[in-house]
């Protein structure tokens, strides 16, 4: 699915790249286009001030790897903002939001309930980061300023207990905007100060352990190595050119250096013209995005280049290692490509998609941008997923997306279940397909009607219930065969269908009640409640006006 400035949206075949059907036309540019959860409709929003719903006539049935855990969690008021750093652990996750009351709230992603609040009335949080275990969070805070041009001055870093919301230690003053990072063990943080130096601090008491670390010029960013023994800094080169009248930056570069995290001693060499730099998961290599539209891999000790340069033309080149360190992902605005981390040779053709940071799944089998993609083949594994930020959970079974932020529309969080990726299907899967279809494909390639599909389904259900421990496919199979009126709304969700219906009824909008009605088919009591709720709604125009007022 694409949305274009020429006033059209189009559906494309993910395999062939050919357009599917006719373009969907608006009077002005189309800013967003999204499939409905069942794939039968598309909603588009345009600069002409209209949003339209279109029917999609599919030429053939398509399986979807991603199914939407379609509740937008009830943690987003229209005056709240998502602070994008999200911690996702094996058993759940946490997320930070802030509202107009200047209070930041730590929220449980699964339930949407507040775990703790950060009392930051005297300043505005600009960025945040969780520790690796999710137990702490560090925020960068700016004092309330009347003049927006003063933003970035007198900023402080504060570490908080992410389970209670209580501050840990004293605030760290005069830090650089967006630069505070936890060490892997979570006991130290590294910051960049306004004076262009870096420091390493004790988290518990807020005391400086190392620094100030001074480079030849101003340090712009800092990152710990995976073992916590070194830090990687990016500094400005000495020569920069600015436009005389406006003061806008014209040209200049940055370079990268490695430092001992205990002593602050620098490496002898440096990597020049590097816009972005990342350690490999084992800490032995560094990958950089260079000013000449190439990505390079370097030895982390000697800072000498390894392998071939990886050329990827486009704006704002970014780069990262896969979790197993075998693959490098390069991305620009609108394109991505995968490379062999040992040889620098391309593994895929250019992929037309916008990819965010931390894009890989934990098993390094997939990465996410506007879709989920297979790392081995470079082929899409899902339909379009529109978001401003997306990240896999620690198990790789779910995808958390934030946004997109659309003017006048509340942005929220959604959790998507991700089907398992396997080279071969479980043995019971063909039998399940036969039982559901009521037919079996014989050795001659002819469909034969099954005599007792119900008995086969019972056998599969009993087999799955005996499986222990349950892998992802078994979890999916049990969910598929469970009672649809009482099971969870998706295989890995904790929210049951009855709970979800209640949430939609409480929202009390035309859209939410329509969906609740569809899910409540066969339950006369619920259908009666929903009908009464619909009757109590104001006329359509008044309802739309009310929603618009809520969004202002």
- C-alpha R_g of the chain: 26
C-alpha to C-alpha distance for 401 and 387, rounded to whole angstroms: 6
pLDDT, averaged across the chain: 75
Q: CA–CA distance from 22 to each of 10, 18, 54, 306, 507 (Å)?
A: 7, 12, 11, 48, 35
Task: Provide the total of helices (H) and of strands (E) in the chain, helices listed first.
Answer: 7, 39
Average of per-residue pLDDT across 178-188: 83
| 68 backbone dihedrals φ, ψ, rounded to 5° | -80, 125
Three state DSSP letters for 376-430 = CCCCECCCCCCCCEEEECCCCCEEEEECCCECCECCCEEEEEECCCCCCCCCHHH
Which tens digit of pLDDT belongs to each residue from 197-207?
888 888 887 78
Average of per-residue pLDDT across 53-76: 34
Q: CA–CA distance from 108 to each of 73, 81, 102, 117, 166 (Å)?
A: 10, 16, 19, 12, 17
**Taking 50 as the threshold, does the pLDDT of residue 75 lie above it?**
no
**Taking 70 as the threshold, does the pLDDT of residue 14 lie above it?**
no
Element holding 274 (H helix, E strand): strand 274-279
Strand ranges of the sheet holding 230-236, from the earlier edge strand across to the other edge: 219-224, 230-236, 254-260, 271-272
Q: Which DSSP symbol is given to 302?
A: T
- Per the CB < 8 A criterion, the answer to whether 398 and 385 are in contact is no
Other Cβ atoms less than 10 A from the Cβ of 218: the count is: 17
Which tens digit of pLDDT belongs to each residue from 400-454?
777 665 544 445 667 777 877 666 778 888 899 898 988 888 888 888 888 888 8
Which string of DSSP letters, residue by residue, matches 84-128? EEEEEETTEEEEEEE-TTS-EEEEETTT--EEEEE--TTEEEEEE
pLDDT of residue 151: 52
Average of per-residue pLDDT across 96-120: 67
Which tens digit of pLDDT belongs to each residue from 38-60?
566 676 766 555 556 676 653 22
pLDDT of residue 285: 92
Q: Which domains does the chain carry?
A: 2-62 (no CATH), 79-214 (2.130.10.10), 217-352 (2.130.10.10), 428-470 (no CATH), 497-551 (no CATH)
pLDDT of residue 406: 52
**Taking 60 as the threshold, does the pLDDT of residue 177 lie above it?**
no
Average of per-residue pLDDT across 251-273: 83
pLDDT of residue 153: 63
pLDDT of residue 280: 92
Q: Which residue has the higher pLDDT, 30 or 520?
A: 520
- Per the CB < 8 A criterion, the answer to whether 414 and 401 are in contact is yes
Which tens digit of pLDDT belongs to each residue from 213-260?
888 777 888 889 999 999 998 887 765 555 555 555 444 578 888 999
Other Cβ atoms less than 10 A from the Cβ of 466: the count is: 8
- Per the CB < 8 A criterion, the answer to whether 134 and 95 are in contact is no
């Amino acid at each position: 699915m694409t949305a274009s400035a020429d006033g059209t949206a189009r559906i494309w075949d993910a395999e062939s790249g050919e357009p599917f059907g006719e373009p969907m036309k608006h009077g002005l540019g189309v800013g967003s286009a999204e499939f409905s959860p069942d794939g039968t409709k598309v909603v588009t929003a345009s600069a002409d001030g209209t949003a339209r719903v279109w029917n999609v006539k599919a030429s053939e049935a398509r399986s979807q790897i991603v199914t939407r855990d379609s509740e937008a969690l009830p943690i987003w008021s229209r005056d709240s903002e998502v602070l994008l750093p999200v911690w996702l652990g094996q058993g759940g996750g946490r997320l930070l939001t802030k509202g107009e009351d200047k209070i930041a709230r730590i929220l449980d992603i699964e339930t949407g309930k507040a775990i703790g609040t950060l009392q930051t009335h005297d300043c505005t949080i600009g960025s945040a980061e969780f520790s690796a275990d999710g137990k702490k969070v560090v925020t960068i805070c700016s004092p309330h300023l009347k003049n927006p041009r003063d933003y970035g001055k007198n900023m402080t870093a504060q570490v908080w207990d992410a389970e209670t919301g209580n501050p840990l230690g004293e605030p760290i003053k005069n830090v650089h905007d967006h630069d505070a990072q936890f060490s892997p063990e979570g006991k130290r943080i590294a910051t960049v100060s306004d004076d262009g130096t870096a420091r390493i601090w004790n988290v518990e008491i807020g005391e400086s352990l190392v620094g100030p670390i001074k480079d030849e010029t101003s340090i712009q960013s800092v990152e710990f190595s995976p073992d916590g023994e070194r830090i990687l800094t990016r500094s400005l080169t000495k020569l920069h050119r600015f436009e005389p009248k406006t003061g806008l930056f014209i040209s200049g570069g940055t370079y990268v250096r490695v430092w001992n995290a205990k002593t602050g001693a620098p490496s002898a060499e440096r990597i020049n013209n590097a816009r972005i730099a990342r350690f490999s998961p084992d800490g032995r290599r560094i990958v950089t995005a260079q000013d000449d539209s190439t990505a390079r891999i370097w030895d982390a000790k000697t800072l000498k280049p390894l392998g071939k340069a990886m050329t990827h033309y486009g704006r704002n080149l970014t780069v990262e290692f896969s979790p197993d360190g075998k693959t490098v992902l390069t991305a620009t605005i609108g394109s991505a490509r995968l490379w062999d981390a040992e040889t620098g040779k391309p593994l895929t053709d250019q992929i037309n998609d916008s990819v965010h940071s931390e894009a890989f799944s934990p098993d390094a089998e997939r990465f996410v941008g506007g879709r989920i993609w297979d790392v081995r083949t470079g082929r899409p594994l899902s339909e379009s997923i529109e978001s401003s930020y997306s990240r896999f959970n620690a198990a790789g079974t779910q995808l958390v997306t934030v946004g997109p932020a659309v003017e006048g529309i509340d942005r929220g969080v959604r959790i998507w279940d991700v089907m398992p990726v396997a080279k071969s299907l479980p043995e019971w899967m063909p039998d399940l397909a036969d039982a559901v279809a009521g037919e079996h494909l014989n050795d001659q390639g002819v469909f034969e009607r099954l005599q007792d599909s119900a008995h086969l389904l019972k056998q599969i259900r009993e087999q799955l219930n005996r499986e222990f421990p349950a892998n992802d496919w078994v979890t999916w199979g049990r969910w598929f065969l469970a009672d649809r009126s009482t099971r969870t709304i998706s295989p890995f969700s904790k929210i049951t269908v009855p709970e979800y219906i209640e949430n939609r009824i409480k929202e009390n909008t035309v859209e939410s009640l329509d969906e609740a009605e569809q899910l409540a088919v066969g339950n006369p009591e619920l259908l009666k409640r929903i009908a009464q709720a619909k009757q109590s709604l104001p006329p359509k125009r008044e309802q739309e006006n009310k929603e618009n007022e809520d969004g202002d």
